[in-house]
Amino acid sequence: MKHVKWLSCCLLGAAVFAQAPPADTLVSPEVHPDRRVTFRLRAPKAAEAWLVMDYMPAGTRQPMTREGDIWSATMGPLEPGVYIYSFQVDGMTIADPVNPNVKLRARTSASMVEVPDTPPAIWEPRDVPHGTVEINWQKSKVINGETRWIWVYTPPGYERDPKRRYPVLYLFHGANDTAGGWTLAGHANFILDNLIAEKKAVPMILVMPFGHALPYGSSGTLTSNTDLYEKYVLQDVMPLVEARYHVAPGRENRAIAGLSMGGGQALTIGFRHLDLFSAIGAFSAAVPTEFEKEFTSLLADAKQVNARLKLLWFACGRQDSLFERSQKLADLLAASQIKHTFRPTEGAHVFKLWRRYLSEFAPLLFH
Amino acid sequence: MKHVKWLSCCLLGAAVFAQAPPADTLVSPEVHPDRRVTFRLRAPKAAEAWLVMDYMPAGTRQPMTREGDIWSATMGPLEPGVYIYSFQVDGMTIADPVNPNVKLRARTSASMVEVPDTPPAIWEPRDVPHGTVEINWQKSKVINGETRWIWVYTPPGYERDPKRRYPVLYLFHGANDTAGGWTLAGHANFILDNLIAEKKAVPMILVMPFGHALPYGSSGTLTSNTDLYEKYVLQDVMPLVEARYHVAPGRENRAIAGLSMGGGQALTIGFRHLDLFSAIGAFSAAVPTEFEKEFTSLLADAKQVNARLKLLWFACGRQDSLFERSQKLADLLAASQIKHTFRPTEGAHVFKLWRRYLSEFAPLLFH
């Protein structure tokens, strides 16, 4: 959490630790007071180096300029939030070698930089009571006997009153992410801490499983992954959650949401199980192309869907290549007279938006 | 946990996910059935590439050989366990760009590879009840009001009986690691799960704070870091643990241990607070050079120390540059007639050993 501070302090002096001294006192990234950010890479023999950031249109990249052994690029001023980036150097795509704020992924390397706001944004740690995030390990019955982890946020005070029951939001990550993504990159825990402190959201549990049921990069499709993942969520994850945590019973107290691939999963699993979930959220979702076909009969029964779904909320940035899918879903739902909220925003396919979306979505739940 | 599987499955076919397809289907690392491991790097323009692994003597590295755009090196057969490695390519030190099993650090990049044992070693997930690891966030009173995280392992069944009280091991990481190191690289949770399932260790709580009280790489020394960290542990961490978790009271139920820098911290804080801790462990410890001077009067009072310390256990590998410090400590304690166990082993300054040491140390606690 204090990565920025660690790095800025590296300017102060050489390491004197007995073990594993830093090989390099280079500072990268450096967040300037005006919210410009300088990225640096020591690459003495490189012929070329580029910076790639998550908000840049696909295929574009920022050339870095060389001074001695150091390549650098300065971007911004950038809006407060998180940015994911990597370097492309001589045909390799690498994380920033000196930035400890690594973006954990299912594959490929990247780093993160946090541009703070003043006062701290809703996704930054504030001086409020903090919930905890628990990592549960479980041998899956559904997925090859794999020992998989499930990250679970419990709100402040959860442990103090075992008789109190909490509603649950199942919250899914995107393709090439991990079960830790909503915590480490999304700051879902801080967002809920802050919303709860402001009484803008009711205290709730977040359940964050690992969304790749088929190995990432395998020959499976998003659809076949969702089918297996649905079984996993229903037969492994939900029983663990209902047995271990103090959850309020019934569909009224259960919501499902996700981002990108996870948004598609939330829409599919949510619509397949209106018996289990009363609210659905989808952020920059990979809306399944077969959505209309799969749910033809539900789409023809707006009365039933509207009676059961207390909330159907989705959002997408206009600069996201998936925007059309959300727009098409909105049109389909409107034509079918199914109640929903579609929030088109500015922005690309980035975590910075997903934090905003969660902070808008969570307050609407469980009233 | 399933990193090896994800990677091996990448051979099966091209990515078909709508979002963020893997840029590269290269497999690295590849663990062969005979426990040799092949490391690969796509670096089309590199003039030179080396592999650096944690067990190699300082300054040594393995040249990688080139075939087309791919550089590779095959090592081993390697003993089962975890290995930390990085690539040195054209003057850059980088993590393996396609290995998702990143070693999180306070600075500098590295990757991990797990060489599994058959049957699964004590540090691998087995089909036994699993404890959880909870991430707590706390605004520190001691360290600049930083919001710091504390990772806490609770044993299987912990949540089922709020009246049961558990002993606590405070477990510290090494320099340039994070609060997650004992979980993500050390598998302390699996070690405890397995020992508890075999009734070789009593169920206990592990408390794993972030050991850099001064910014890593700052001008502080190990000693000044330990002094501030001691305050942090006593004034921030322990009050949170005692308030939030079901801990058994008193020094008899409290132990302190650590690896490398954390081993030095455990020795110093432990000896300074025999009123708080009844057992001390130090793995490949950076034994403070001023240890004898600081504890002159305690070293002259073996009777008191032996009456209070139920366990003083330390271990180090003979190929570790810190070995002499542990040997010297053993000699000093012997000369002072202070009861202790010193376990010299084969091996270097590596996590593979620290898993073994924890699995030997934990069973000795809290009897």
State the maximum Cα–Cα separation within chain A, in Å, rounded to a whole number.
Answer: 70
Tell me if B66 is assigned to some domain.
yes
Tell me if A264 is assigned to some domain.
yes
Closest CA to A287 of A307, A303, A305, A268: A268
> Last residue of a domain, which of B115, B149, B166?
B115
CB contact under 8 A, B1 and A93: no
* Residue B18 scores a pLDDT above 80: no
Residues B304, B188 share a domain: yes
Tokens of A52: 């790639």
Residues A150, A101 share a domain: no
Tell me if A125 is assigned to some domain.
no
Strands B49-53 and B62-63: antiparallel
Range of weakest confidence among A1-5, B179-183, B362-366:
A1-5
Q: Is B215 on the interface with A (CB under 8 A)?
A: yes
CA distance B274 to chain A (A): 26
Residues A290, A259 share a domain: yes
The pLDDT score that the predictor gives to residue A23 is: 54
The sign of the torsion formed by the CA atoms of A138, A140, A143, A145 equals positive
Looking at chain B, the number of H-run helices and the number of E-run strands are 11, 17
CB contact under 8 A, A104 and B102: yes
Tell me if B292 is assigned to some domain.
yes
* Residue A121 scores a pLDDT above 50: yes
- Partners of B288 on chain A (C-beta within 8 Å) are none
- CATH classification at residue A106: 2.60.40.10
Strands A311-317 and A341-345: parallel
Residues A148, A43 share a domain: no
Chain A residue with minimum CA distance to B244: A159
> At residue A217, what are phi and psi to the nearest 5 degrees?
90, 0
To the nearest 10°, report the CA torsion of A254, A258, A264, A268. -10
Residues A8, A142 share a domain: no
Chain pair A-B, CB pairs under 8 angstroms? 257
Confidence of residue B23 (pLDDT cuts 50, 70, 90): low
| Among the partner residues A2, A105, A244, nearest to B159 by beta-carbon distance | A244
Tell me if B150 is assigned to some domain.
yes
Q: Is A213 on the interface with B (CB under 8 A)?
A: no
CB contact under 8 A, A132 and B136: yes
Q: Tell me how many domains chain B contains.
A: 2
Tell me if A218 is assigned to some domain.
yes
Residues A222, A359 share a domain: yes
Are B257 and B169 in contact by the 8 Å Cβ rule? The answer is yes
CA distance B303 to chain A (A): 33
Residues B187, B67 share a domain: no
**Number of CB atoms found within 10 A of residue B25's CB:** 16
Q: How would DSSP label each residue in A178-218?
A: -TTHHHHTT-HHHHHHHHHHTTSS---EEEE----SSPTTS
Q: Is B137 on the interface with A (CB under 8 A)?
A: yes
CB contact under 8 A, A95 and B109: yes
Q: Range of B24's domain? A: 3-115
> Last residue of a domain, which of B54, B87, B115?
B115
> pLDDT digit string (tens) for A282-318?
999 999 999 999 999 999 999 999 999 999 999 999 9
The secondary structure element, H or E, covering residue B228 is helix B222-232
Residues B226, B339 share a domain: yes
The pLDDT score that the predictor gives to residue A219 is: 76
Residues B164, B106 share a domain: no
Mean pLDDT across chain A, nearest whole number?
A: 93
Tell me if B122 is assigned to some domain.
no
> pLDDT digit string (tens) for B43-99?
999 999 999 999 999 889 999 999 999 999 999 999 999 999 999 999 999 999 999
The sign of the torsion formed by the CA atoms of A333, A335, A339, A341 equals positive
> At residue B145, what are phi and psi to the nearest 5 degrees?
65, 20
The pLDDT score that the predictor gives to residue A4 is: 32
Give exposure, A328-338, as e/b (b: 16+ Cβ within 10 Å). ebbebbeebeb
CB contact under 8 A, A92 and B43: yes
> Percentages helix, strand, coil for chain A, rounded to the nearest 5?
30, 25, 45
Chain B residue with minimum CA distance to A21: B217
Between the two ends of chain A, the Cα-to-Cα distance in Å is: 32
- Partners of A244 on chain B (C-beta within 8 Å) are 159
The pLDDT score that the predictor gives to residue A338 is: 98
Residues A63, A173 share a domain: no
> pLDDT digit string (tens) for B249-297?
999 999 999 999 999 999 999 999 999 999 999 999 999 999 999 999 9
List strands edge to edge, sheet with A30-31.
A30-31, A37-42, A70-75, A65-67
Helix (H/G/I), strand (E/B), else coil: B234? helix
Helices (H), A147-187: 181-184
| pTM score | 0.93
> At residue B222, what are phi and psi to the nearest 5 degrees?
-55, -40
Tokens of A183: 């915590």
| Among the partner residues B90, B105, B225, nearest to A45 by beta-carbon distance | B90
Tell me if B125 is assigned to some domain.
no
Chain B residue with minimum CA distance to A161: B162
* Residue A363 scores a pLDDT above 60: yes
Are B38 and A248 in contact by the 8 Å Cβ rule? The answer is no
**Number of CB atoms found within 10 A of residue B149's CB:** 21
Q: Is B47 on the interface with A (CB under 8 A)?
A: yes
Residues B220, B320 share a domain: yes
> pLDDT digit string (tens) for A96-110?
999 999 999 988 899
Helix (H/G/I), strand (E/B), else coil: B251? helix
> Last residue of a domain, which of B57, B89, B115?
B115
| Among the partner residues B2, B162, B216, nearest to A6 by beta-carbon distance | B216
Residues A253, A192 share a domain: yes
> pLDDT digit string (tens) for A14-61?
222 333 344 568 999 999 999 999 999 999 999 999 999 999 998 899
Which contacts (CB < 8 Å, 24+ apart) does range B228-233 have? B228/B142, B228/B143, B229/B265, B229/B269, B230/B265, B230/B268, B230/B269, B230/B272, B231/B142, B232/B140, B232/B142, B232/B143, B233/B170, B233/B209, B233/B269
Q: Is B246 on the interface with A (CB under 8 A)?
A: no
- CATH classification at residue B172: 3.40.50.1820
Q: Taking residues B130-150, what's their average pLDDT?
A: 97
Are B257 and B170 in contact by the 8 Å Cβ rule? The answer is yes
Mean pLDDT across chain B, nearest whole number?
A: 93
How far is residue A159's CA from residue A151's CA, in Å, rounded to a whole number? 17
